[in-house]
Structure 1
Amino acid sequence: MWKAYGRRSVLKGADLAIAAGSLVAVVGENGAGKSTLLRIAVGQVAADRGVVERVQPFGYCPQRAVLNDTLTVGQHLELFRVAYELRDLNRAHELLHFLHFTDRPNDRVGTLSGGTRQKLNLVLSLMHDPLLLVLDEPYQGFDWDTYRRFWQLASTLRSLGRSVLVVTHMVHEQGRFDSVRHLRGGLVTAQAGSSA
């Protein structure tokens, strides 16, 4: 993929393929183009050149949760249920229970802490059981228990043949990933010892 903003080239032939049932990290310094790569991958921005193929359905969990502070948790779940054309909220409730985020359907999102908002953000991106989950700095604001549960969830998804892409500026636990890629100079390269 190629992408430039005016005279500034951000991506210069970046190539990224995610195999089914894999957990992959894309790491890059601030300003390296991670957000641009991610936004092209999920269809928010068009590449200047290159081909983008997306598996369907996919889930996207942005770093900044796109939530409406005036709506309740339950209203968000219902909105996304309709958008995803789901019959019920069973999967959403399973995820909420797993993340210890239950009994709060009437809480307005504007009253939630940052970490709790991120839990809801994650649930909304997963409640339709996507084949690919794209996460931008997913564990910001998580407490230790939620952080551990996040990795348990990611491992379960991988075992079910789902793919998980984590975009971050640093990887704390590289051993959790099947592959770590680096975005530098507009290109994506595999880390030494990491599967391509």
Structure 2
Amino acid sequence: MNQRPETPGEPSEVERRLYDALDAAATRPPAPDLFERVLGSIADDRVRRRRILRTAVVLIVAISLLTAMVLLFTPRTVTGDLLLEWWILELFANVLLIGLALWLGPFIKRFGRAYAADVFHDNPQTGKSYIVLTDIVYYLIFTAYILFTISFQPREDWTHFVVPAQAGFEAARLGGILLIIGVLHGLNIILMPILGRLFSLNRKLSGR
């Protein structure tokens, strides 16, 4: 194919196309879908911050009310020491476990989204579904643990008032749920890349 000879100082065909592409890129408005995604991310962050703030306020109010109730209705000895009834500590432990579940779940999810997005980069929708399913499992475990360990009457080695045996039991409840969630979360971190590779391989094989 014959091409017109270029005169000295005149831009070549490649240079003209490059100039046109740069001019078009400079004058073209940003992609609307990207702008909407940025706005959506900002809105999601604001909603998450409001939810965290509301949860913190509710927990502070609940703990304050519980503390006031303990100070007002707990009997005292002759010397003025508190005689804490067993159900007060049990109620406080259950409130603490519920508050821990409501705080720890969004905290793990917040830092796990980027990890899941990197693992399931070939299957973004699968990554989102995986996060939702792990949230369901998380709250089911927390709920089952609280229901299994809650006490509606003093245990054999307890009395009507708080004794070291009950304090040790409640501390073990808190440590137990932290251990369970920690082990499951560690297994999830290890297994997620394996699942991501399997889903990616399955998608590539099915696309052939």
TM-score, normalising length: structure 1: 0.21
- More helix by percentage: 2
User: Which structure ranks higher in relative contact order (CA pairs < 8 Å, sequence separation ≥ 6)?
Assistant: 1
More strand by share: 1
